[in-house]
Amino acid sequence: MPSDVTEASEGVDEAENVRYEETEEDDNVSPTDLSEMLKEGTKESHDRAENTQFVKDFLKGRIKKELFKLATVALYYTYSALEEEMDCNKDHPAFAPLYFPLELHRKEALAKDMEYFYGENWKEKIQCSEATRCYVDRIHYIGQYEPELLVAHAYTRYMGDLSGGQILKKVAQRALKLPSTGEGIQFYVFDNISNAQQFKQFYRARINALDLDKKAKERIVEEANKAFEFNMQVFDELDKIGALLTEEAQDGGLPVHDGKGDLRKCPYYATKLGSFFFYYKYINLHLWGNTANSAFCPSLQARGTLAAPITLAWPC
């Protein structure tokens, strides 16, 4: 890891802030800069992500609390995988200049959100969904076998969190009437970044300074598009779950159950428990007709174009 990066992550101080400020907005971007290739090369994916039903509803403040909690669970698993692989590759020359644990890493913030939403023993109450599992598996695969592509996953998530994520934070706080003191939305709060715009410029400069040839850059853009795709699969999955949630679930009132049948298959019951487990089983059985988790991956089924390369390298 370069020495200046160590300084940045060992204590964000005024010196580091000054350095971000010194990273000026650069209008003279070159189309061969990786940051520019990423921005241009994922534009279409970004548009599609912004236009998924889940995101559109979220932006309008139409998000039920239970669904927001499940979205936060998905983020927890995603960032746990991403940051684990980043930690493992922090000295890899293709990733080291982008290693900013103190400024960027979200796992701890997400753990706080989890505790707020699910209580002290939150770990026992959450489960990784199918779509999230596909994303997580891909991240681990990349971290272990193709770490030069890790930048694609870091770019897609962190640059997004520092951009549109800030809008989502305000929407969530308002729509879900979350405390103004920040409980439940710690994920969106970057305590160690005083100016997101400047940090993004600084991060872009770091991306551009990576020593990569044209082919490697193109592979990174391709991987970033896959990362967008994984995110969209998670959104679609959440959207399906959201369609089954009722306002009662949101407000915490358990709807009257007639007591017949298997209570564990009732989504209201599951939601009330605050557990994804029963809920997830319900979705698996009823939406996808799936009973064998390991043999099923909605990402691969839904996106024919993605299925081939990923299945070969990493059977989900």
Q: How many residues in the shown chain lie near ligand HEM by CB under 6 A? A: 18
Q: What's 304's DSSP letter? A: H
70-99 positions binding ligand HEM, by CB under 6 A? none
> Of 138, 200, 272, 281, which one interacts with ligand HEM (CB under 6 A)?
200
Between CA 56 and CA 213 the distance in angstroms is 37
Q: Kindly report the number of other CB atoms within 10 A of residue 95's CB atom.
A: 22
Q: Identity (one letter) of the amino acid at 198?
A: Q
Token pair, residue 91, equals 């000295």
Residue 67 near ligand HEM by CB under 6 A: no
Among 155, 190, 203, 279, binds ligand HEM (CB under 6 A): 155
Q: Which of 159, 175, 178, 245 binds ligand HEM (CB under 6 A)?
A: 159
In this structure, is the dihedral angle defined by the CA atoms of residues 297, 130, 72 and 171, taken in order, positive or negative? positive
The radius of gyration of the chain from alpha carbons, rounded to an integer in Å, stands at 20
Interface with ligand HEM, residue 160, by CB under 6 A: yes
Q: Which of 15, 32, 108, 167 binds ligand HEM (CB under 6 A)?
A: 167
Task: Report which secondary-structure segment, H or E, holds 143.
Answer: helix 130-145
Q: 62: number of CA atoms within 13 Å, CB side? A: 11
- Contact between 164 and ligand HEM per CB under 6 A: yes
Nearer to ligand HEM, 36 or 115 (CB): 36
Does 228 participate in binding ligand HEM (rule CB under 6 A)?
yes
Where does residue 20 rank: exposed (0-12), middle (13-18), buried (19+ CB within 10 A)? buried
Contact characters 43-62, ligand HEM, x per CB under 6 A: ---x--xx----x---x---
Q: Which residues bind to ligand HEM, rule: CB under 6 A?
A: 38-39, 46, 49-50, 55, 59, 155-156, 159-160, 163-164, 167-168, 200, 228, 231
